[in-house]
Amino acid sequence: MRISRYLLYIVILIFLLTLPIYTGVYLLNVIDIILIYIALALSWDMLLRSGQISFGIAGLFGVGGYAAVLFHLKLGISPLISILMGGLAAAVLAWLVGMAVLQLRGMYFAIVTLALAEIFRVIIRNLPDLTGGPEGTVLSSAIFAGSSTRTYWLVLAGAIVSIIASEFFRRTRIHFAITSIRNDEIVARSSGIDVFKYLVFIFVITSAIQGMTGGAYAHIYGFVSPEGSFSVDFTLLPIAMALLGGMHLTWGPVLGAVLLGAVSELLKLYIPYGHLLVYGVIIVITILFFPQGILGTLGQRLKKTDTG
Amino acid sequence: MVVLKTENLSRYFGGLMALNRVSMEFRKDEILGIIGPNGAGKTTFINVVAGIYLPTEGKIFFNGRQISDLPAHKRCRLGIGRTFQLVRPLQGLSLLENVMVGALFGNGLRQREARKKAEEWCEFLELSDITRDITRMTALEVKKMEIAHALAAEPKLLFLDEVMAGLNSDETKEMIDLVRKIHSRGIVIGIVEHVMRVIRELTDRVVVLDWGEIIAQGPYEEVSNDPKVIAAYLGEEA
């Protein structure tokens, strides 16, 4: 049983690695975007499992992007390492913010994270010598000299790292800690769980993923700008994806990212900018009719037939 | 030997004195009853001792160590366990996993060991079908699960906050036997209860709280005839 499962994983991995052979460049670019959204949606969901709602994805994504570009440009650090530095910058930022506001949690935390993107957008816009100001900064070349295959491998690696991190969160004692915290903090504290420590840890890890993703995105397009890098899309779409696919699961946000990512590409072709409207409708339908998301609802159905 | 001692413990909520200079002792091998009318401060007392609220004034000593400033999770790890008046099962975890939480964090065990420990405690409390979802459990089972959850942290002192509430008389009898069984493992028990039969059968000593103050203490028979206690429960004559 176990061996056949590993075999399946290996076959899937080989298929994913060799995907550029079967697909054209356009499709590969669409897949890149989906993989980026998988990392964002999953990392958002990982924090949600502890009951904390973050609206700061775009902020950490943008900070990671700017950090990656600036480390590369100003200090001559290689693109790949500078992407990691982007993750580190987001992690440090999350640590500082977390230490300050995670004592309050809940609504207060959500509001502060909402302000993150706005604050950094303004700061970056007003530091033209360092950041290029409102016009942003353009790199002389994209990462891997624009090779679509290697770019795909990079974002695939990012998505796989996120999936592994998410499964790690679901299978270790972290799962028990954050599920307890989400349910009832007083029970968690009375059971010996250091609630604050866990929340800061999870916020830092998920922010590092978002920062690295932002760094990769910036190097792929060779460009950062206050409006583009901190776009509200990077906050709203991952949340919509996780809700649609199913919260608190690894494969829920992945499924949501694949579905909404593909739909949004189609919609961009037929109704430019109309895709946001469709997103809104999808979110409303999800929340009204299947708040557990696709996988969550399927899981419940299966359980019911199991019992009845 | 005194396991837990509070010295002039007070807790105010704004102008409300929920606890007023409460000095109490929990002795080794003892089942101590804490009774009093609604709003007397019984649950507040547990919350302050367990670290959910910090005391406004006063000190708490656990095995001779001052713990008044320790956060709740550290007090749990030291050996102060508690259940909750309103059951608070953890959704999304199975029965066994609920119990495991206590062993993982209160007792610092690794997952495999914690699972084994949790299985042992479930058996001890006569809980069966332990991998099931907690939405499919009776009231008695949920209460037992919460006790197992607290026990899995290996407490030296366990507070049971109205564990008999909502149980029928057969279930109450079963629960009384279980409390005796837990006590026989050398765990000191502080029991808050409204069902007087339970207090009479189980406790060595009773402390009566009213308006956050201790108004009487001693063996149940003595306390239950104390005019002050009767007045607190029934209201004073005009």
pTM of the model: 0.93
Residue A255 lies in a domain: no
pLDDT band at A117 (very low <50, low <70, confident <90, very high): confident
Q: Tell me: the pLDDT tens digits for B139-175? A: 999 999 999 999 999 999 999 999 999 899 999 999 9
Contact residues, chain B, for A176 at CB < 8 Å? 93, 97, 100-101, 104-105
Whether B117 and B66 have beta carbons less than 8 Å apart is answered as no
The total number of structural domains in chain A stands at 1
Domain hosting residue A100, numbered range: 27-231
- Which DSSP string do the residues of A41-59 spell out, in sequence order? HHHHHHHHTTT-----HHH
To which residue do tokens 């399927």 refer?
A298
For residues B73-78, give the mean pLDDT: 97
Q: Would you state the pLDDT for residue B168?
A: 92
Residue A268 lies in a domain: no
Residue A11 lies in a domain: no
- Which DSSP string do the residues of A144-196 spell out, in sequence order? GGG-HHHHHHHHHHHHHHHHHHHHHHHHSHHHHHHHHHHH-HHHHHHTT--HH
Residue A242 lies in a domain: no
d(CA A120, CA A291): 33
Q: Would you state the pLDDT for residue A38?
A: 97
pLDDT above 90 for A251: yes
Residue A294 lies in a domain: no
Contact residues, chain B, for A174 at CB < 8 Å? none
Whether A174 and A168 have beta carbons less than 8 Å apart is answered as yes
- Kindly report the nearest CA distance between residue A248 and chain B, in angstroms: 10
Residue A256 lies in a domain: no
pLDDT band at B238 (very low <50, low <70, confident <90, very high): very low
- Kindly report the nearest CA distance between residue A180 and chain B, in angstroms: 6
Contact residues, chain A, for B133 at CB < 8 Å? 303
Whether B79 and B157 have beta carbons less than 8 Å apart is answered as yes
What are the CB-based long-range contacts (under 8 Å, 24+) for B25-28? Answer: B26/B2, B26/B157, B26/B188, B26/B190, B27/B1, B27/B2, B27/B3, B27/B188, B28/B1, B28/B2, B28/B3, B28/B188
- Beta bridge partner(s), residue B191: B33, B160
B45: phi then psi, degrees, rounded to nearest 5: -60, -45
Residue A127 lies in a domain: yes
This model of the complex carries an ipTM of 0.93
Residue A104 lies in a domain: yes
Contact residues, chain A, for B147 at CB < 8 Å? none
pLDDT above 70 for B208: yes
Interchain contact B107–A (C-beta under 8 A): yes
For residues B97-113, give the mean pLDDT: 96
Whether B100 and B114 have beta carbons less than 8 Å apart is answered as yes
Residue A192 has its nearest CB partner, among B52, B106, B111, at B106
pLDDT band at A106 (very low <50, low <70, confident <90, very high): confident
Retrieve residue A176's tokens. 């028990």
For residues A258-270, give the mean pLDDT: 85
